[in-house]
Amino acid sequence: LHANVFRLCQNTSESEEIVQEAFMRVWSRAKTWVPRRVKFTTWLFQIARNLCIDRFRKQTAKLDSSIDLDLIPDASTNRDKELVLALHQVVQELPERQRTALVLSQIEGWTQSEVAEVMKSTVEAVESLIARARRTLRTKLQVSPTKN
């Protein structure tokens, strides 16, 4: 379980916390497990996977709210800040599955197979989600050329 969780979150201490939380949830919700419906290991891994997704969403929300526009270099400050704000806004407007696939793969650096596993999807579906997200970003962020 720990190796699987570590593969998803790529952080030793975080994966240990998630595994511990998964076992605590199993213990507290043991009465809800139906042996005829699902194997115990499947149930346990699903709980851990959901905890990874929850943790990712919380981190993404923190990232989204902590964009510091003052850290952008001063060269063309207003234009750069506008672009960062526009990008941030467009990413937030993406459908949740597209946003999740894009952020996990492009910002967090996960492989498409890892993203597919967390999202309970196929690699092809993740590729499609990322392509649609990029297409939306390109369309909505069309910037007219600047005149010099």
Would you state the pLDDT for residue 75? 45
Element (H, E) at 87: helix 77-93
Q: What is the mean pLDDT of residues 54-71?
A: 61
Q: Give the model's confidence band at 8: pLDDT under 50 very low, under 70 low, under 90 confident, else very high.
A: confident
Whether residue 42 is found in the same domain as residue 95:
no
**CA–CA dist 15, 2 (Å, integer):** 7
Q: What is the pLDDT of residues 83-132, one digit of tens each?
A: 777 777 888 888 888 988 888 888 777 888 888 887 888 999 999 999 99
Residue 148 domain flag: no
CATH number reported for the structural domain that contains residue 113 in this entry: 1.10.10.10
Residues 6+ apart with CB under 8 A from 122: 116
With respect to residue 54, please indicate whether it lies within any of the assigned structural domains: yes
Last residue of a domain, one of 33, 66, 99: 66
Mean per-residue pLDDT, 47-63: 78
Predicted local distance difference test score (pLDDT) of residue 21: 94
Indicate whether 25 belongs to any domain: yes
Range(s) of the domain holding residue 130: 69-142
What is the tens place of the pLDDT at every residue in 84-96? 777 778 888 888 8
Last residue of a domain, one of 66, 91, 108: 66
Which of 71, 84, 99, 86 has its CA nearest to residue 139?
A: 86
Please say if the pLDDT value at position 72 is more than 70. Answer: no
Q: Identify whether residues 78 and 129 lie together within a single domain.
A: yes
pLDDT tens string 13-38: 989 999 999 999 999 998 888 888 88
Q: Higher pLDDT residue, 46 or 64?
A: 46
Q: Point out the domain boundary residue: 14, 35, 66.
A: 66
Note the pLDDT of residue 19.
94
Does the residue 94 lie in any domain?
A: yes
Looking at every residue in the chain, the average pLDDT score rounds to: 80
Could you tell me if 54 and 28 lie in one domain? yes
What is the spatial distance between Cα 94 and Cα 100, in angstroms, rounded to a whole number?
A: 9
- Give the integer Cα–Cα distance in Å for 125 and 119: 10
Q: Residue type for 17, please?
A: E
pLDDT confidence tier of residue 60, bands split at 50, 70 and 90? low
User: Quick one: 75 and 138 in the same domain?
Assistant: yes
